[in-house]
Structure 1
Amino acid sequence: MTAVVANRDPNSPLYDRIDLSRTFFAGHSGGGQAALQAGSVFPGIASLIDPAMRVRGVLAVQPGPLAVGALVGVPTLFLTVYNDFVVPDFAWVRWWQYNLTFRASGWIANARGVSHCNVLWCNGKPLPQDVFVALLVHAGQIVTALLGLPRGAR
């Protein structure tokens, strides 16, 4: 809701600069679970929050178990890691999230050599903020390409 308010506030530096028609939900672990849950609920009510709001997809990074893929109605990219003992790739992410995603397109990718808590680390060090932001932008570009949306599409 903060983004919607900032987009409407003429005193905000974000005033009329947020494209609500291309909203994605993303998160890691419990946040990934919440992103999946939001992808299940918000597409149907987004226009009630703001008439321009359209939910275009979900990026669920090692999502928690309390979300069901069959309820997600927008294209979803699931990211898992091979050495994850908190959110094992072979467990719920595949069984009742990815494999049950049938109301919209779904993709799954698996990274090797990292675990649940160091997915955003490289060589034992946290990724610099600019690299992390670049990864998020790149993930957004991948999802946009998978959806077939032109860049800058409204």
Structure 2
Amino acid sequence: MPEPTSPAEDVYRHGLRLMLDKDIPAWVDLWAENGVMEFPFAPDGWPRRLENREAVAAYMRHYPDHIDLQEFPELRVHQTTDPETIVVEMRGIGRLVETGRPFDMTYIAVVTVRNGHFTSYRDYWNPLQLLEPGADFTGSSR
């Protein structure tokens, strides 16, 4: 029997399906108007905080032009004491569109969903992967 999910987890999983479908406008529609996306480990020159849905949309608009996400293996969703907040561990696999090189990124995210929309999304993606030989994330949603 599958584990029960929370509304926050349901929205998050739906968002992952939209990312795999390259439906960025529908993914952006999952955001509250005043939702905030943060990247605490972003290296210099990369955004650390996006203040609202419009900023998130601008940041993500060209994502599929740079990264072709193909799957999210190893997805683990952890419920918290706040039913609107989840912690997600996952790995995104695909390829870099321009070079065809593999894309393999690990993430931890702390996500809050209220009334069916993301209100807070702290994305702890791994910036060390930018230092790997041959890594080229130029323009990939920076």
TM-score, normalising length from structure 2?
0.27
Structure with more helix by fraction: 1
TM-score, normalising length from structure 1?
0.25
Whose RCO is larger (CA < 8 A, sep 6+)?
2
Larger gyration radius, structure 1 or structure 2: 1
